[in-house]
Chain A
Amino acid sequence: MESNDELIETLKQEVKDELKDKFNETAVGYIHVFNKRLEEKLREQGIEYNKEEFEGKQID
């Protein structure tokens, strides 16, 4: 059975593959579409998503 960490890594790769046709990783704001999709996938698996705190920084 996969540990949560392994599952998260698998899901991250799945998100990357899913987004491949829509956005380049170099596009401004890629992190946000990536995180949003990852959050959905984690929720489907019943895994709590630790929302990234950007602490007053603007991340693109």
Chain B
Amino acid sequence: MLDTKLEENIEEKNNLRRTIDAIDGETNKVSYLANQKDNEAKLEFLKNFTEKESRDKIISSLEHKVSPDLFKIVYLAQRMIKEFIKDVYTSTPADKLEALEITFNRTNIIFNKLPENYNMEVDDKTKTITIAEKRRRNQNKLLGYVLHGYAHCFSNMNKNEDKDDILEEGNADIFVDLVVNNYIKNHPFESFGFHVDKNYSIESTYTEANSIIRSRMYVLEKLKIDKKMLLEFLLGDKEKYLKNIFNGAQKNDEFNLNEFYEKNKFALQNINRESLYYKKNTILPMYILQEKIPNENILEKEYSELELIKKCFNYERINKINADELDDFINIMQDTDKVQDNLEEFIQEELNNLTDMEKRMSADNIIENVLVICKYKKLNNDIAKQILEIIQYLINDLERNVKIERNSELLQKVCELSNNIEIEDKQLEDELKDALSYLKIKLEMATGGNLTPDIFFNRLQSSLKNGSKIERNEELIAYQTIKDELNINKK
């Protein structure tokens, strides 16, 4: 059956060839071909024509189908892609523009019911991108699917035998991010009719592919050939791309964190965390961590957060570590999945090992560091109790007018982070938040007393829940306390 079909196709092509050969003049041949129905047959004869006009006529005669609900997104995606390519080259190579037009003109993009958990599929045989019917509603997602699908279609035009998923998916995701961000940069005020983030990044599960390809692209970016190489992969010469991106390594070798670092050390110094290639990348953060721990190779085995913090801060204790540096370091560790998550263990161990005297002497620094950790981790009840005790030491210091060195930094962290604290026991969580709110007042007073009765009462009002009752004796105590705290009677 299959053989018969194949024979029929060959016979049809031979007939078409004989007919075209028999027609006089290129214009007539092109017109005849442009009126044929079969896209692939037209493309097969394209190589017989070298004149741009003839080729353009055949390419523009290709037919495709787009679901009406996708018109807007598909043509927006095409505009974005064209603009990206125009911006990459000073003069766009004709073969790339042609490959682009062929793909746009022959690729069907439709909604259809797909199996469970599929979001989209690209069928190279039928040249169709199918998006799952159930994903019809979210325009932002649809834009990502269409662009990701187009990237596969481009790549399929010049696919080689040993197709590699890491390269295919990694490059498709990068392509989407580069194309959208380039367009947003060029048209900051364009309204799409749906929300697109300023720093757009397609939501993807291809973590490994993105990490490997983005790390390689980061190195190529230093040579300013990253985007051109991506377009070689998708629309041009895959071999040229492979030669540049693997830089002498074998394509099939597994990515080795340490070897890649050693080979590209120069390009991997002072990694720019704002780079698009840092996003969705679990490898580059490891190189930043390595830079911060220069005396030891941390790339050859897996470490925990606790171990790396100790190494980075030369085994300093939490009462001595600078909270902003700790925050930055944890932030980088959170960007990778190659460091074992055990921050809670770290804080528990640190608090347990501090003497009571150390807690009293460095209460401010400890609280500042704890607040940093609360940004990333839910704390257990034991830690919360210890923190409550340390906050009290700090409040005592402030009441005795002891100068707090990093008062404004601590105050800023209390203001920004207190509400996000999560403790296992909710009652303890409320207690801790109350203590921090009291500490905040004390810190504000210590910074220059910019707490006025008005500010105080406004805060009090907003913190009282609807319907809360205050007993008469509580009111009197509160009144006296407020007077004392704000020195109202002195005025």
Contacts and interface: CB of A to CB of B under 8 A. Distances in A.
Interface in B123-182: 123-125, 135, 138, 141, 144-145, 148-149, 152, 168-169, 173
A60 B165 CA distance: 11
Nearest to A15: B117
Secondary structure class of chain B's binding surface, majority of residues:
mixed
A46 interface: no
Interface residues of A, number: 19
B205 interface: yes
A30 B121 contact: no
Interface in B85-107: none
Interface string A21-60: 0011111111111110000000000000000001011111
Given A23-B205, A57-B121, A28 B144 contact: yes
A28 B117 contact: no
B456 interface: no
A58 B118 CA distance: 11
Contacts of B169: 29, 60
Nearest to A26: B141
Contacts of A28: 119-120, 144-145, 148, 173, 202-206
B126 to A, nearest CB: 9
Given A32-B205, A58-B152, A58-B168, A25 B117 contact: yes
Contact of B121 (A23, A26, A58): A58
B206 to A, nearest CB: 5
A2 B409 CA distance: 59
Q: Which of A27, A28, A31 has the most CB of B within 10 A?
A: A28
Interface in B63-114: none
A7 to B, nearest CB: 17
B122 interface: yes
A54 B121 CA distance: 9
Most buried by B among A33, A35, A60: A60
B124 A57 contact: yes
Contacts of B144: 28
A60 B203 contact: no
A33 B121 contact: no
A36 B123 CA distance: 22
B205 A29 contact: yes
Contacts of A24: 203
A60 B119 contact: yes
Nearest to A22: B205
A27 B203 contact: yes
Contacts of B203: 23-24, 26-28
Nearest to A25: B117
Contacts of A30: 117, 119, 205
Contacts of B206: 28-29, 32
B205 A27 contact: yes
Contacts of A27: 119, 203-205
A31 B135 CA distance: 14
B122 A57 contact: yes
Given A56-B123, A60-B119, 19 more contacts: A25-B119, A27-B203, A27-B204, A28-B144, A28-B173, A29-B205, A30-B117, A31-B117, A31-B118, A31-B119, A32-B206, A57-B122, A57-B123, A57-B124, A58-B121, A58-B122, A59-B120, A59-B121, A60-B148
26 contacts: A23-B203, A25-B119, A26-B135, A28-B202, A28-B204, A28-B205, A29-B204, A30-B119, A31-B117, A32-B205, A56-B123, A56-B124, A56-B125, A57-B121, A57-B122, A58-B124, A58-B168, A59-B120, A59-B121, A60-B118, A60-B119, A60-B121, A60-B122, A60-B145, A60-B148, A60-B149
Interface of A: 23-35, 54, 56-60
Interface of B: 117-125, 135, 138, 141, 144-145, 148-149, 152, 168-169, 173, 202-206
